[in-house]
Structure 1
Amino acid sequence: MEKVEVKELLEAGVHFGHLTRKWNPNMAPYIYMERNGIHIINLYKTAAKISESAEALHKIAASGKKILFVATKKQAKDIVAEKAGAVNQPYITERWPGGMLTNFVTIRKAVKKMASIDRMKKDGTFNSLSKKERLQVDRQRAKLEKNLGSISDMTRLPGALFVVDIMREHIAIKEAQKLNIPIFAMVDTNSDPREVDYLIPSNDDASKSVDKILSIVTSAIADGLNERKAERTEKDAKVAVPKAEAKPESVKAVAPVSEEEE
């Protein structure tokens, strides 16, 4: 796992918090000082928290569970889509669909609907519809794709949630809390860190800061996925070897016995 450099966090502007009057007192332990009416985050504490989060995410990825990324704010959505997509993890960057976790069965039905429209297009059923019906189906498919396309491979509830801006994504946070899904998050000085299980005290408003943090955590996820792949390959190899050796031995063992009996 890559070492978190405080200098790099500083260059990415991770240390800039919110205006002091907008602060949440529960973030006090992570605030270094106040400058020009803005709280400055203690980057040494941020670096330690990133390492802690990265290690936990590495383990979750290695266990085969998915990590759902949530960021609907303008500065973060494209970065999250790119970084989460690169490590094959689901993400929500449009509006959070209410009940996404607490009513997962319904969400899965919508995803299946999307798959059935795709099948219609492949097998030619789609072409037999009237022009108006085709237009309606296309619109429905586009809407589903926009809201749920990035989670179409998520067949079960995620092993964890990674959130950028917990105040904005409070509905997602509440749903994860209800289901005891671990929450990882970039938490700014205006938010309550008690809402999440793994917090990363950081500037959640600047795209450079979001990019930096996301790069580190998705790199840890990628390591976890590679570890899982390597373990499975090793397991498959061990299973394959005895099978190949077993046959000749059993044949040799059986042959002499049957000859003596005759």
Structure 2
Amino acid sequence: MRQLIPAAVLALTAELSAHWETHATLDSLFTYAGAPGTPPDGSKPAKAMAWLRRVNNEASSPLQVLGQIIERYMEEALDPTDRWDKDKIAERDKLLAALAASNLQYLKGGRVVGAMGTPTRTLSEFIQEGDVQSIDQEFERAIQNASVSPREAVSAASNILESVCKVIIAEEGLPMPNKQDLQSVWGVVRKELRIDPSKVEDQDLQTILSGLIAVVHGIGSLRTHASSAHGAGKTPYRLEPRHARLAIHAGHTLALYILESWKKRQAETLAS
């Protein structure tokens, strides 16, 4: 289905590209991205706006063109001296927020997709099929949202881990715990897959596995505590984007390890 660039996103993209590009680099950028036709006349803002409207009217995939246009702005938030450019970061975050408000998401590599992912397949189906690339994209969406809304990004990572555990419980016919939060479903899966540091002979692996187990408790608690003030007289927990990214990356690593352990267990069952 052909999806147009939403008006708010179109306006911000025109403003952003006109601000950071010369006429020559603007022409080059839009041509590289596959924007149809020759460069429109007028000032840089007028040119960018007219060309983006033409993309909506004439391009076979407007969101694909959009992704190529904004790729550098999304992924290169450093100035030539390798210091964080606060203006570029702020403008990138505004664009991310506009995409999210339009139920869209930027993915690394110049891709703009629906925030719900592929509509014909659910996260549970990705997990059942072992579709690691699609699961990676779910975590990538959480990462991209970390700057705009760290708490929601951590919640998304926690939800993915919960889904991984719940799918395994359902597929293996295991008893679902009464309380279906992350730590509870993880406890069932951990026991089933024998993820136990004490059973591993290598001390270095024991250390790593112990850390991964702590990740589950940390992510689950972070999602809860970051939204509360922890009682009167105490400073509320302020979750920053760097905290969210740490939790999301750790959760990603754990999710893949759980899936690989499950597949190994399935293979052993078939072989026996």
Q: TM-score, normalised by structure 1?
A: 0.29
Larger C-alpha radius of gyration, 1 or 2? 1
Greater strand proportion: 1
Greater RCO (CA < 8 Å, at least 6 residues apart) = 1
Greater helix proportion: 2
Q: TM-score, normalised by structure 2?
A: 0.28
